[in-house]
Every structure is written in C-alpha cells, then in structure tokens.
Amino acid sequence: MEVSYDTRITTLENGIETRMSKYRPEGRRKYNVLRGIAKGEDVSALRNFFILRQGALNSFKFKDWMDYATTQTGTVFGDGSVQVSAFDGSLSLLFGRTYQMVKVYSDSARTITRVLTKVKPNSEEVAVHGNILTPSEYTINNETGEVTIVTTAFDPIGAGSVTAGCEFYVPVRFAESTDQAFSVAMQATDNTQSLPGFELIEDVSPLAVSQDYQFGGSQHLTGLT
C-alpha cells in the first residue's frame, strides 16, 4: 500500500522551499494486488473481475488489511484484543441529526480526519453521550457513511456527543496500466513470478473546487524544521 500526496516542492537558491500538495490531507492510496496470485486460475479469476468492471471505468470496494477499522491501530484483531468501539471518535455533523462516519489520525502535533464512505455492513457501533444505541435508534447508509440519529431519548445532542466506530472499505479502480498487465499475464500464467503488478488506485469523491486548488495548502519552509 502506498499513500500519495503529490507534493510539489520549489527550492530557492537560499534554501527556502515552497511545498504544495495537490491531494487531500489524507492523501490518495494505491495498491499492488499481485501478492497472493500464485496460480493461473487466480489470474483468470482476476481477469474476469477486471472485465466485469470494464477495466478502469467502474470502481469497487477493496479491503485494506493495513487500515480497515476506526480503532487507533487501524485493524481489528481476531483474538479480541482490540475491538471496534463506539468511542473511537466523534462523528462529523453534516446537518440536523445526520452525521458522517470518519476516522481520525492524530499525534501530539497534528490531526487529520478521513471521511469514510464505504462502511462494512453491521460492523458499526454508534453512541450518544456514551450510551451505545440499538439499530432501531439510528439509520446508516453504508454506501455514503452517513448516520442519522432517530431516537430522541438522549436529547439534547451537543457537539462531540455522538461517537461511532466501524470497519470500512476503500473505493478503488484499476489503474490504466492494468490493460498491459493482463496482456503479459495471458502469456505467462504458468510463471506468476514474472507477472507485472496489478495496481489499484483510490477513487476519490468529486469536489466543487478548481483542479488548481492546493488541498494540502502551501508552506514556506527553510528546511531546518
């Protein structure tokens, strides 16, 4: 897995730099799914999936095994040592009683909030004032990550009082280079070690901003920080 920020760096003669990131603060993820493909049958199954998605035209859900839950570690271990919790973080208020599922990455210096749009069904927990809600007390759209609080038992609902946790998928598409990869694959299905990588690219949501907008902002740095 690779996280890209497409940071453009301009360095002046005195060492001062201007750094501009074209991608959102959480970056854009890229994956190589060649690992695990050990037989010709695996290549054929992937090829059929590729055809049904019409190559790079249609996106699909992908589980990032390095980061698929809102827990601090980013994963949920089968031994029960870490579980998805309703106290993983505050939801982002959209309007009225509707909130957006998010994951928060933070350390002592910075905090970045990642919007989650593909929630694994029945993996979520939602709480108001620390009280875990039953499924009848809220609704969730697993395709957008939007949660609406239905119950009024815990009113008033103040800022930061609604929390949630979940597992999630990453919306991705095949990279354009996958066309060539399958051309090679059909000639080397008996030797998977020689196959090129099959790349997936995160499908980002469209935003109503100029393509020249610097999502990560711009910084003037001396290189000494």
Q: Taking 80 as the threshold, does the pLDDT of residue 141 lie above it?
A: yes
Residue 200 contacts residue 172 (beta carbons within 8 Å):
yes
- How far apart are the C-alpha atoms of 54 and 121, rounded to whole Å? 26
- The residue among 171, 174, 184 whose CA lies nearest residue 55 is 174
- Report yes or no on whether pTM surpasses 0.85: no
Q: Which residues contact 89 (CB under 8 A, 6 or more apart)?
A: 70, 102, 103, 104, 163, 164, 165
Most confident of 10-19, 194-203, 207-216: 10-19
Q: What is the pLDDT of residue 193?
A: 56
CA distances for 68 relative to 36, 162, 182, 198, 220, angstroms: 19, 21, 28, 21, 34
| pLDDT band, very low/low/confident/very high, at 144 (cuts 50, 70, 90) | very high
pLDDT exceeding 70 applies to what percent of the chain?
76
Helix (H) or strand (E) holding 47: helix 40-52
pLDDT digits (tens, 9 = 90+) for 20-74: 777 677 788 889 877 666 677 777 788 888 889 988 889 999 999 889 999 877 8
pLDDT digits (tens, 9 = 90+) for 77-111: 655 556 788 888 889 999 999 999 999 888 888 88
Give the distance from CA 178 to its chain's centroid. Answer: 21
DSSP assignment, residue 181?
H
